[in-house]
Amino acid sequence: MKRIICKNYDEVSLLGTDILAKQIKQNPKIKMVLATGSTPVGMYKKLVEMHKKNGLNFSGVRTFNLDEYYPIKKSNDQSYDFFMRDNLFSHINIKPENIHLPNGESADPEKECADYEKMLAQAGGVDIQVLGIGVNGHIGFNEPENELKLATHLTNLTKNTIEVNSRFFKNIKDVPTKALTMGMGTIMKAKSILLLISGENKAPVVKKLFSGVVTTDVPASFLNFHNDVTVILDERAASLL
């Protein structure tokens, strides 16, 4: 894994933006998987700025999202569908038909996962996958378990993840306890991976990520098997390295 340590969160966001913008310019029909959470927000804002000020063109870009709460309505302001539209999609010239997210409203989550996996395969693969990492080492909603699933699936969220995500909800009881998520095998199929990490609270898991050990207790550690991963982190996240 290529490791780039930046001074602060703003620099992490700026470098991530530069990498994605460069790839979009080189391949206007790029296929990318996008992540949610607080870490990529700064990058999305900078991409919007680049679109408005410098004409970065998203008209041919196809996006797929990493995960979605389940069950949750798209209109819910804590859904990842809402998040992506609010932070990125509604501010750029991406075509609606080129936006793909797992459907948290699906009546049949197993079929939704199978259909999402087929759609990714029919798209011919992903060029770049954007990821964040949880304090417990999860990527997407692939939580620490004895076994990790390869394909897109419905999963139970750990108590730790529910507690961390409760800051976005009025009450912890409002946090969904399940999610639809790409599996580890699906994530690893991306041609390249961009992992953004920020904050002192991520330092312990960053230390595990670069420990040279791969374990299902830290799902993100499996990224060590991928041949094109760029990890961009700030000094606080890298403080234990």
Other C-beta atoms lying within 10 Å of the C-beta of residue 99: 18
Q: In this structure, is residue 101 part of a structural domain?
A: yes
Report how far residue 220's alpha carbon sits from residue 76's, in angstroms, rounded to the nearest whole number.
Answer: 28
Residues 6+ apart with CB under 8 A from 96: none
**Position 133 in a domain:** yes
Rounded CA-CA distance 155/90 in Å is 29
pLDDT at residue 168 in the model: 87
Per residue in 189-226, is it b (16+ CB within 10 Å) or e — as a string?
Answer: bbebbbbbbbbeebbebbebbbeeeeebebbbbbbeeb
Domain contains 49: no
Token readout for 141 is: 């909603």
Number of domains observed in the structure of the chain? 1
pLDDT at 160: 87
Q: What is the CATH number of the domain that holds 30?
A: 3.40.50.1360
Cα–Cα distance, 47 to 92 (Å, whole number):
9
Walk along the chain (241 residues) and give the pLDDT tens digit of each residue.
Answer: 999 999 999 999 999 999 999 999 999 999 999 999 999 999 999 999 999 999 999 999 999 999 999 999 999 999 999 999 999 999 999 999 999 999 999 999 999 999 999 999 999 999 999 999 999 999 999 999 999 999 999 999 989 889 988 988 989 988 999 999 999 999 999 999 999 999 999 999 999 999 999 999 999 999 999 999 999 999 999 999 9
20 by Cβ neighbours in 10 Å (0-12 / 13-18 / 19+) ranks as: buried
Catalogue the active-site residues.
67, 136, 138, 143
How far apart are alpha carbons 60 and 77 in whole angstroms?
27
pTM to 2 decimal places: 0.96
In a domain, 43, yes or no: no
The answer to whether 102 touches 180, Cβ cutoff 8 Å, is: yes
Residue 39 CB contacts under 8 Å (≥ 6 apart), including other chains: 12, 132, 196, 197, 198
In the numeric block, the tokens 């296929």 are attached to 31
Domain assignment present for 77: yes
Q: Is residue 216 part of a domain?
A: no
Q: How far is Cα 182 from Cα 179, in angstroms, rounded to an integer? A: 10
CA-closest candidate to residue 198, choices 40, 74, 52, 35: 40
The residue segments making up the domain with residue 95 are 2-34+57-202
